[in-house]
Amino acid sequence: MSDQPAPSSPIPPMGPNGQPAAPLQLNIQYTRDLSFEVPGAPEIFVTLREQPRVDLSLDVQARPVQGQNNVFEVSLQIRADAKAGETPCFIAELAYCGVFTVNVGQEMLEPVLLVECPRILFPFARNILADVTRDGGFPPVLLQPIDFVALWQSRRAQGQQVGTA
């Protein structure tokens, strides 16, 4: 009889080759929606005398893919509203997604989907937003790195406040 305690974690899922499945696998990534609008064109290009102020919003959403075990779609949703004074310059909206196979315990699922998966997608979404704003005739919007841990913790804190209200 052994004095060693039994392992507390379940046996990891097995892949098709009999080896343990990877905890996180990116299956595909894609642009689900991309919109770029210049409401004041062409006049905005003639009258613009200052660097536009860009207001950004970012959201992360995750949902299971129907009919698939451990497969989730994670979506980074970014909106950039640019104004010079009160004059709108452009509106850019991007939904950039990835389909991931996730083989982790239930207690780790949320942070993997809302922190690790967006970290993988972010550089690609950042590049698309920079290209579309530059190609639209404006300086490229270069997103600074996002702290997805802080974003996830903030979202959890808001959810707990709503739950206790």
Task: Examine the pLDDT at 136 and tell me if it is beyond 80.
Answer: yes
Tokens representing 96 are 């950039």
Is the pLDDT reported for residue 147 higher than 70? yes
Task: Give the residue with greater pLDDT, 33 vs 18.
Answer: 33
Residue 80, CB-side half-sphere exposure with 13 Å CA sphere:
29
Give residue 155's pLDDT.
Answer: 82
105 falls within a domain: yes
Confidence band for 12, pLDDT divided at 50, 70 and 90: low
Strand order in the sheet with 53-64: 24-37, 87-102, 71-84, 53-64
- Is the Cα dihedral 45, 49, 50, 53 positive or negative? negative
Q: In the predicted model, is pLDDT for residue 130 greater than 60? A: yes
Q: Does residue 10 carry a pLDDT above 80?
A: no
The answer to whether position 110 is within a domain reads: yes
Q: In angstroms, how far apart are the furthest CA atoms of the chain?
A: 84
Domain, as residue range, for 72: 24-33+59-79+92-159
Whether residue 116 is contained in a domain is answered as yes
Distance, first Cα to last Cα, the chain: 52
Q: What average pLDDT does the chain have?
A: 86
Residue 75 included in any domain = yes
In a domain, 87, yes or no: no
| pLDDT confidence of residue 153 | 87
b/e per residue, 117-132, with b = 16+ CB within 10 A? bbeebbeebbebbeeb
The answer on pLDDT for 61 being more than 90 is yes
Q: Is residue 135 part of a domain?
A: yes
The token pair that represents 13 in the structure block: 């899922």
CATH of residue 141: 3.10.420.10
The answer to whether position 115 is within a domain reads yes
Q: What's the CA gap between 126 and 130, in Å, rounded? A: 6
Domain count within the chain: 1
